Amino acid sequence: MNFRFVHNNFNVLDLDKSIEFYQKALNLKEVRRKEASDSSFILVYLGDGFGTHSLELTWLRDRKEPYNLGENEFHLALEVDDFDKAYEHHKNMGCICYENKAMGIYFINDPDNYWIEILPKKYK
């Protein structure tokens, strides 16, 4: 048996705001969408244009309160080819939520406070 990553999911309160954030912050683009026939949910899949793995954003019509993310111990990680440029971009966006200068990494948070780790290319 062989398994392959397909997608990760984040539930979001404001789908348009989240899509805009991921486009601006990480250059992720919508690759497909599924809407419930009763309009109770929308799934939007975002891709990086390089691989097949995607981020699924789930919007639930009846959800009004923020999601409980615990202590934010889980996260996505993305590598970037120009770490310094990405850092400045995210700093200007005001979305850097944690830095570990000793490890050479930092985290940004999205509109729902999910954390995304930013790594320099070929981070080990």
117 included as an active-site residue: yes
Q: Does the fold of domain 75-124 match that of domain 1-61?
A: yes
pLDDT digits (tens, 9 = 90+) for 110-122: 999 999 999 999 8
Class of domain 1-61: alpha beta
Catalytic residue among 30, 56, 99, 117: 117
CA-CA distance, 99 to 95, in Å (whole number)? Answer: 11
All structural domains of the chain with their residue ranges = 1-61, 75-124
CATH architecture assignment, domain 75-124? Roll (3.10)
**pTM of the prediction?**
0.92
pLDDT digits (tens, 9 = 90+) for 83-95: 999 999 999 999 9
CA-CA distance, 124 to 121, in Å (whole number)? Answer: 9
